[in-house]
Amino acid sequence: MLATDGGTESGLSSMKFKAVIFDMDGVLVDSEPLHQKAWQQILDGFGISFGKLAIASSAIRKNVEAVIECIQLQKLFQSVLSIEDVSSPKPHPEIYLKSAENLQVAPFECAVIEDSVPGLQAAKGSGAFAIGITTSFPAEVLIAADWIAHSFSEIKSFLETRLV
């Protein structure tokens, strides 16, 4: 589902991204273990042949590190930022601007996966392409997104041909 005014699905086919930035709560981690397994399958499906992955979470660093260690994803991320790494929380774009800088890419070269309105606003404010995932809120709430997915497999399909 495209959430931007005047855009078309065909216009998205030419978009390319050099990086993917994940929110943590509701995106990488949810109360259902199936969400964690789905992300691992998505990453496995890509063969992790690209190096530009980051986490940008509003959670405290201790929680972020515990979660990524628990689900054994710590080696996959070049940049892990938490609320302690920024002076302004989401919806301010600082965390995504810093993530892009850490990955050495421009924000507009990033796809950000978010499940909340403040997160999507932060992603859009940074200049990144904002993908909303309906794990925490319905699509009607995530209208700030450039594109909305209802499942992890939709995101996988969307990103497969767009990663450089």
Structure confidence by residue, pLDDT tens digits, 59-93: 999 999 998 888 877 777 899 999 999 999 999 99
Q: Judge if pTM exceeds 0.95.
A: no
Is residue 149 within 8 Å of residue 56, measured between CB atoms? no
Return the amino acid letter for 79: S
Segment holding 119, helix H or strand E: helix 117-126
Distance of CA 4 to the CA centre of its chain: 18
The mean-pLDDT minimum among 58-67, 111-120, 140-149 falls in 58-67
Q: Does the residue 19 lie in any domain?
A: yes
Per the structure, the complete domain to which residue 130 belongs is given by 9-160
Q: Does the residue 2 lie in any domain?
A: no
Name the more confident of 44 and 1.
44
Q: Provide the domain count of the chain.
A: 1
For residue 31, name the pLDDT band (cuts at 50, 70, 90): very low
Could you give the angle at which helices 117-126 and 94-103 cross, rounded to 10 degrees? 50
